[in-house]
Amino acid sequence: MLPVAVAEPDVPSSRGCAACSGRSARATPSFPFARTLGTVPTSTRTTRATLPACAPDWIRRLPKAEVHLHLEGCVPLDTVGLEDAGHAGVELDPETGAPAFGDLAEFLAFLDRCCARVTRGEQVEQIAYGITSRAAADGVGHADVIFNPTHWPAWRSDLSELVARLDGGFAAGEADHGVSIGLCLSLQRTQPPGESAELVDWLLATRPDRVVALSVDGDESAAGRTGERFAPLFRRARAVGLRACAHAGESSGPEGVRDAVELLGAERVDHGIRAVEDRSLVQELAARAVPLDICPTSNVRLGVATSFATHPIEQLRTAGVPVSVNTDDPLLFGTSVTGEYTRCVEAFSWDRTVLGAVARTSIESSFAQPERRRELLADLDDFLAQGTPEPDAATGARERR
């Protein structure tokens, strides 16, 4: 049985983005999903709660959190001199400027190139401040930002300075935009065990205020099942009050999701979508209210899901699994939180009731301080109670990015 999860007292253009239109067909789906939960019901009714297909303004103003966001995917390409195809070495989407990737390995290689060019403290502060600016523009009141030191070669010998620079940028953004930020230190599945232990040693010895959780990410298909290897490190982190999340069910199957929760004590699972292949696991996730931090565009762009329309987020949601909608690596996928919510409206006919529930899950599952979480939930309740007039759908085509 899964343990009970711990709980503390863009928008696509009318021409279609790569994720929606299938232009990213270079990514051949490696893990097509078995439709084990039956046909997803698609509502054709029009109710007071139903949003127009293009209603980015209401979605943008909807109070929400983002809980699956990588620092490495928030590096503006012009900050590191990779803003044109010649320097980037990959094809760039003409609408979003985002690179095109064939698979997860290609994506991770490009991500490492970007991060390796971040060598100055001012760059780190600018990246952190930009996260808060974009969050505020998307109605995101809190973000849990995952960072993996293995991707930042210029900073591996001075992680305290990296975190201090991030803290400075986040603090300035919080003051200007009112967005709270927590950092989740992530281990790399494929790094030597000794290096992982050293990172946890550093974290527990320094305990930076900004770092609120331990995580693990990386290519699951390359590393194999690593739950037992990382379990002692997660136990140490949880013992001193750090929260826990873990990537699983992206390039691994449902067994990775089970390992994340049972062995690592993950309070929520980043991605987790391949749980849909195991009906009993889905039932357990729903019964235990274990949230999945889902990033639909990322899954489509990297070939983990065959298309947005067939993405299993709706199967999981209608099966009772708590889900949130996130961007993963927004500047590398050319997406935004508003864009992800809007695509779900278009693909699954989500109405305001569903959007409100997904936003609520994002806040409740966040690692924000309890008082901050209560504030955000109150903001959400007030917003949903207002009966905000429908936004002008004509604005959608201009803002769907």
- Would you say residue 211 has pLDDT above 80? yes
**Catalytic residue (one of 66, 250, 346, 364):** 250
Contact assessment for residue 330 and residue 69, using Cβ atoms and an 8 Å cutoff: yes
Contact assessment for residue 198 and residue 191, using Cβ atoms and an 8 Å cutoff: no
Task: Write the burial class of residue 118 (CB in 10 Å: 0-12 exposed, 13-18 middle, 19+ buried).
Answer: buried
Domains and CATH numbers, the chain: 18-26+52-386 (3.20.20.140)
Sign of CA dihedral 72, 298, 86, 397: negative
Task: Quickly state the pLDDT bin for 55 (edges 50, 70, 90).
Answer: confident
Is there a catalytic annotation at residue 250? yes
Cα–Cα nearest to 246, from 221, 268, 219: 268
Compute the average pLDDT of residues 6-23.
36
Q: In whole angstroms, what is the distance from residue 229 CA to residue 78 CA?
A: 38
Q: In whole angstroms, what is the distance from residue 135 CA to residue 140 CA?
A: 5
Cβ-proximal residues to 374 (8 Å cutoff; 6+ apart), any chain: none
Q: In whole angstroms, what is the distance from residue 227 CA to residue 168 CA?
A: 34
Compute the average pLDDT of residues 188-212.
96
For residue 207, the one-letter residue type is: R
For the chain, give the mean pLDDT: 85
Token output for 59: 């979605």
Task: Quickly state the pLDDT bin for 43 (edges 50, 70, 90).
Answer: very low
